[in-house]
Amino acid sequence: MCHAYSPPPRHSTCVSLVVLFLLIPKLHSAPSQIQTLFRMGAGREVSISLDGVRDKNLMQLKKLNIALFPVRYNEKYYADALASGEFTKLAYYSDICVGAIACRLEKKENGGQIRVYIMTLGVLAPYRGLGIGKEESQYLSLVLTGGTKLLNHVLDLCSKQNISEVYLHVQTNNEDAINFYKKFGFEITETIQNYYTNITPPDCYVLTRQTVQSPTKK
């Protein structure tokens, strides 16, 4: 599940998660770090934690992107990720950075409302072998744990902040990614011809999810 950010009309992207093993030491432990324990099998616990992206640990996101994607992201990508605040997160397994979600906050043309664009969402492939996740396809095994946690975090933030729309681009033949997002209520809302360069097919789908807003407190 990967989709790339690039400002020109035609973009480069990755076709799948690559099987790489990259150890990225955690730089610090933030008090606000979100942590969940997953009990697997015979009492086994797998800890997946999320941490925010800041100037001091931005290099971890850069190293992760190098491992996951054959695209080199420009400085605007990282500026947008930092500007999104809590909408961009790193995922850790046993203090190893294994995944990330990077978002951009955009203003809609009608009324200036905010919507969220998911620039990238990826998890290092080798951690599929840890037995994390449900019995699904090999591609989705870890994504259903780390990726699910990352995506749920963004969707929960949208609901709390009354942001009604989240969207992203996915290559038209990336069935694993499309099925993954559909599990979270995303729908194909547009097809863009020749969106990508240097890959086949060059077309992408726009997947959009209308989030449920939290009731206004009186």
For the four alpha carbons of 42, 48, 49 and 55, in that order, the dihedral sign comes to positive
Catalytic site includes residue 117: yes
Please tell me the distance from the alpha carbon of residue 177 to that of residue 179, in angstroms, as a whole number: 5
Encode burial over 10-36: b for 16+ CB neighbours within 10 A, e otherwise. ebbbbeebeeeeeebebeeeeeeeeee
Please tell me the distance from the alpha carbon of residue 98 to that of residue 138, in angstroms, as a whole number: 16
Catalytic residue among 92, 117, 139, 181: 117
Catalytic residue among 3, 11, 73, 169: 169
Please tell me the distance from the alpha carbon of residue 160 to that of residue 121, in angstroms, as a whole number: 21
- Pairing mode, if any, of strands 89-93 and 96-107? antiparallel
Catalytic site includes residue 195: no
* 60 and 24 Cβ atoms separated by less than 8 Å: yes
Q: Which residues are catalytic?
A: 117, 169
